[in-house]
Chain A
Amino acid sequence: MKRYILLAIGLVLVGIYLFPLYWMYITALKGGTEIFAFPPTFWPRDPMFTAVDVWHRLQMDSYIWNSLVIALGVTVIVMVVGTGCAYVLARVRNRWMDVVLFTVLMMQVLPSSLMITPIFVSFNQMGLLEYPRLAVVLAQAAKVLPLYIVLCRATFVQVPNELEEAALVDGNSRVGAFLTIIVPLARNGILVTSVLVFLQSFGEYVYSRSLIAERSLQPATVGLQSFMGPNSSDWSGVMTYSAIYVTPILIIFVLLQRRIVSGLTSGALK
């Protein structure tokens, strides 16, 4: 009996915590006058489905596309550059590797909003700002690479050493053993971490806002911010935009919830 009371309290706590998400979806469904009704209605009186209209009116296709391009670019760079490093950090233990790990962890803490000034100036001098989306990809990859390395390292630690040794005895090269034995065994961890990196970059804001001047190249975060404006009263539009933007993220999250939670806990504390 006590267990079901606890379950009920747990449900209430989750409900209170997730209320902002509920409020976003409910507001997105409300019509113009109902939005500004006070007291507010907690269930839309006559729901209006404006997603298609908002999508076209705010040219969300271009924003979402740019977010996808940036997030994919970041994920590919981070996977290519980071996987091997995570593996070596998990396998080799000596003083040099401690130094490398320390450096990686230190690079993880640099706040984007404070790194953007030197990045902007140096990218400008290198001519990288001619390709603003590439500039954002390069900067954001450096931001999330340490997180990827730390979380993937935790995965590689769990792959037994003996399998690699057996492969080497069988005449595999290190490269061969890494690519055909180790990486496939760590596949799940690599994929979940990559999804996390992808989601983080899909919601990136500071670099995009500062490096991308052209509207047609801006991602969805910058689009949302410019559309909100100081005097915006189109809250239904803002919430519909937000709902369209985060629904895929939430779906991916719910599907991978268990793995994301275990990946985070094993990586962040080891």
Chain B
Amino acid sequence: MTRIFGSLRDGRGFDTVLVFMALGYLLVFSAFPLIYNIVMSTQSVDLFSLASFDRPFVGLDNYREVLSTPEANLIFWNTVKFVVLSIVFQLSIGFGLAMFFNQDFPGASFLRGLFLAGWIMPALVVGAVWSWILAGDFGVLNYVLSSLGVIEEHIFWLSDPDMSLYAVIIANIWLGVPFNMLLLSVGLAGIPKDVYEAAEMDGANAIRRFFTITLPLMRAQLGAVISLGIIFTLQQFDLFAALTQGGPSNASNVFQYWSWQLSFQTYEIGLGSVVSVLMIVFVIFVAAIYVRSTRHEHAM
């Protein structure tokens, strides 16, 4: 007894306890729901069987049902579009800003830090502000675009089925740019200056320097930012809730919002679990690649 107690105070027992406090918490509140989710996706779960443990096992019926619904295809492509467009723009804008603020001028790092003000705001509030900016009749974005001569008629960003997904994407790009810029700045700052000076002496112009030095040296960083971007984009829920709620008629719906709608609006909890399982498997796959690549880099 005293030995165990002594080990807790002085030996490896102390480390073990500390680790298991956190690990235990995560196992109970994250890993268990994860497994429970898989179980529920093979059961028939509705409002009546919600509280009981004895639910009929239906095998892969839920999976078949979800995948054969007419909206599944649309929502799948929406999710792909949402992720790809968000990441392309977040990354390129973030990269451009990171390069700009990497130059030497007064207040550069302070101004760069200000961008994080967007990132720190609750996404639901960001959604509320953007839904006012994007409003069809009185929105300031329509005003700016039409006074610049880009558009002739007002765009009804949130209620036009052709535009609503792009409305959410615009807000999501805004939300994600600071994080991309911040991570890429760290990478840029790590490139030694004399590499550029040597290239300049050899007569490489700015564009060449970008493609032969900056991009190759940033490869690991870009990989990390892209995988983190995919993970964060697939976590985005609040913007959909605040802007379009997946509408009109699923035109802006994505899997992570659809899953919630199935479970909490139509109470088809078994179907909601199926969508969750499919998405979580994908997210974990991306994350595993990311974590493995950063560990590898760390070991070197």
Contacts and interface: CB of A to CB of B under 8 A. Distances in A.
Contacts of A13: 97, 100, 111
B130 interface: yes
B157 interface: no
Interface centre among B29, B101, B140, B275 (most CB of A within 10 A): B29
B63 to A, nearest CB: 15
B103 A113 contact: no
A135 B277 CA distance: 22
Interface stretch (A46-54, A57-65, A118-126, A184-192): A118-126
B271 to A, nearest CB: 10
Interface in B1-49: 8-11, 14-15, 17-19, 21-23, 25-26, 28-34, 36-37, 40, 45
Given A111-B283, A125-B53, A117 B26 contact: no
A228 B131 contact: yes
A76 to B, nearest CB: 13
B23 A103 contact: yes
Contact of A238 (B128, B235, B260, B272): B128
B129 interface: yes
Nearest to B273: A117
Interface residues of B, number: 104
A239 B186 contact: no
A190 to B, nearest CB: 14
Contact of B14 (A80, A175, A264): A175
B263 A209 contact: no
Interface in A207-257: 209-210, 221, 224-225, 228, 230, 235, 238-239, 242, 245-246, 249-250, 253-254, 257
A23 B276 CA distance: 36
Contact of A10 (B100, B131, B288): B100
B6 to A, nearest CB: 9
A10 B256 contact: no
B132 A27 contact: yes
B106 A265 contact: no
Main secondary structure of the interface of A (DSSP, over half): helix
A238 B126 CA distance: 12
Contacts of B108: 6-7, 10
B39 to A, nearest CB: 8
Interface residues of A, number: 104
B178 to A, nearest CB: 8
B34 A118 contact: yes
B222 interface: no
Contact of B260 (A82, A113, A265, A268): A113
A113 B258 CA distance: 9
Interface in A62-121: 77, 80-82, 84-85, 87-89, 91-92, 97-98, 100, 102-121
Contacts of A10: 100-101, 105, 107-108, 111
Interface of B: 8-11, 14-15, 17-19, 21-23, 25-26, 28-34, 36-37, 40, 45, 50-51, 53, 97, 100-101, 103-108, 110-118, 120-126, 128-133, 135, 137-138, 140, 143, 147, 174, 177, 182-183, 185-186, 221, 224, 228, 231, 234-235, 237-238, 241-242, 245, 256-257, 259-260, 263-264, 269, 272-273, 275-276, 279-280, 283-284, 286-288, 291, 294-295, 298
Interface of A: 2-4, 6-7, 9-11, 13-14, 17-18, 20-21, 23-24, 27, 35-40, 77, 80-82, 84-85, 87-89, 91-92, 97-98, 100, 102-122, 124-125, 138-139, 141-143, 145-146, 149, 173-175, 178, 199, 202-206, 209-210, 221, 224-225, 228, 230, 235, 238-239, 242, 245-246, 249-250, 253-254, 257-258, 260-261, 264-265, 268-270
9 contacts: A4-B106, A40-B143, A84-B18, A102-B291, A113-B257, A114-B37, A139-B29, A221-B238, A268-B228
